[in-house]
Amino acid sequence: MTELKVDIENTSHRMSAARCDPVYVAVLLLVALTLLVFFPVRGYEFINFDDDLYIINNPHVNTGLTVENIRWALTSTEFSNWFPLTWISHMLDVSLFGLRPEGHHLSNLLIHTANVVVLFFVFLRLGVPLKRAAFIAALFAVHPAHVESVAWVAERKEVLSAFFWMTTILAYTRYVRNPSMANYALVVFCFILGLMSKSMIVTLPFVLLLLDYWPLGRFRPRADVRGLILEKIPLFVLCAVVSVLTVAAQKQSGAIKTLELFPIKHRLLNAFVSYVRYVVNFIAPYDLSVMYPHEKAISLMTGAGAFALIALATGFVLWRAKRFPYLFTGWFWFTGTLVPVIQIVQTGLHSMADRYTYIPYIGLFIMAAMGVPHLLKDYGKAALSLGVITILVCAGLSVKQLSYWKDSITLFTHAVSVTRDNYLAYNNLGCALSQTGRDAEAVAAFEKSFSIYPNSAVIHVNAANLMLWTNRKDDAIMHFRTAIALDPANTSAYVGIGVALLMLNKPGESIPYFEKALVLEPTLTAAVSYLNAAKHQAVSGSSTANPSGKNFN
pLDDT at site 8: 41
Report phi then psi at 505, rounded to 5. Answer: 60, 45
Helix (H, G, I), strand (E, B) or coil at 358: coil
Based on its alpha-carbon atoms, the radius of gyration of the chain, rounded to whole angstroms, reads 27
Instruction: Write out the chain's pLDDT in tens, 553 residues.
Output: 444 444 444 544 454 554 569 999 999 999 999 999 999 999 999 999 999 999 999 999 999 999 999 999 999 887 778 899 999 999 999 999 999 999 999 999 999 999 999 999 999 999 999 999 999 999 999 999 999 999 999 999 999 999 999 999 999 999 999 999 999 999 999 999 999 999 989 999 999 999 999 999 998 877 678 899 999 999 999 999 998 887 776 666 554 555 556 678 888 999 999 999 999 999 999 999 999 988 778 899 999 999 999 999 999 999 999 999 999 999 999 999 999 988 777 666 778 999 999 999 999 999 999 999 888 887 778 889 999 999 999 999 999 999 999 999 999 999 999 999 999 999 999 999 998 989 889 989 988 998 898 888 888 898 888 888 888 888 899 999 999 998 898 899 999 999 999 888 998 999 999 999 999 888 888 888 888 888 888 777 655 445 545 555 5
CA distance 162 to 118: 10
How many whole angstroms separate alpha carbon 156 and alpha carbon 235?
23
Supply φ then ψ for residue 352, to 5 degrees: -160, 175
> Which pLDDT belongs to residue 466?
87
From CA 424, how far away is CA 445, in angstroms rounded? Answer: 10
**pLDDT at residue 128 in the model:** 96
Residue 319 to residue 315: CA distance in whole angstroms: 6
- Neighbouring C-alpha atoms within 13 Å toward the C-beta of 316: 10
* Cβ atoms of 278 and 338 closer than 8 Å: yes
CA distance linking residue 515 with residue 408, whole number of Å: 35
CA distance 334 to 365: 9
Measured CA to CA, the distance from residue 162 to residue 193 in angstroms comes to 10
543 Cβ neighbours under 8 A, 6+ residues apart: 505, 537
Query: 352 with 292: CB under 8 angstroms?
Result: yes
Q: What is the pLDDT of residue 164?
A: 98
Query: Could you count the other beta carbons within 10 Å of the beta carbon of residue 331?
Result: 22
pLDDT at 1: 47
Report the pLDDT value the prediction gives residue 6, as an integer from 0 to 100. 43
> For the stretch 197-219, what's the b/e string if a residue is b when 16 or more beta carbons lie within 10 angstroms of its beta carbon?
bbbbbbbbbbbbbbbbbbbbebe
Q: What is the DSSP string of 191-260?
A: HHHHHTT-GGGGGHHHHHHHHHHTTS-TT-TT--HHHHHHTTHHHHHHHHHHHHHHHHHHHHHT-B--TT
> Residue 467: what pLDDT?
86
CA distance 73 to 79: 12
d(CA 331, CA 364): 7
pLDDT at 254: 54
Please classify residue 1 by burial: count the beta carbons closer than 10 Å to its beta carbon, then call 0-12 exposed, 13-18 middle and 19+ buried: exposed
User: What residue type is 328 in one-letter code?
Assistant: F
Burial of 309 (0-12, 13-18, 19+ CB in 10 A): middle
Q: Where in the chain is the domain with CATH 1.25.40.10?
A: 409-540
Contact 459, 449 (CB under 8 A): yes
Classify 347 as helix, strand or coil. Answer: strand
409-540 is classed CATH 1.25.40.10: yes
Closest CA to 390 of 33, 4, 19: 33
Coarse DSSP helix, strand, coil percentages of the chain, rounded to the nearest 5 percent: 75, 0, 25
Q: Return the SS3 of 147.
A: helix
Question: Crossing angle for the helix pair 22-38 and 380-403, nearest 10 degrees?
Answer: 30
Encode 21-81 in three state secondary structure.
CHHHHHHHHHHHHHHHHHHHHHHCCCCCCCHHHHHHCCCCCCCCCCHHHHHHHHHCCHHHC
Structure letter (DSSP) for residue 342: S
Long-range CB pairs of 491-494 (<8 Å, 24+ gap) are 491/517, 491/520, 491/521, 491/524, 491/527, 492/461, 492/465, 492/551, 492/553, 493/457, 493/460, 493/461, 493/464, 494/520, 494/527
Query: CA 446 to CA 475: how far, in whole Å?
Result: 13
Helix axes 473-486 and 457-469, enclosed angle (nearest 10): 160
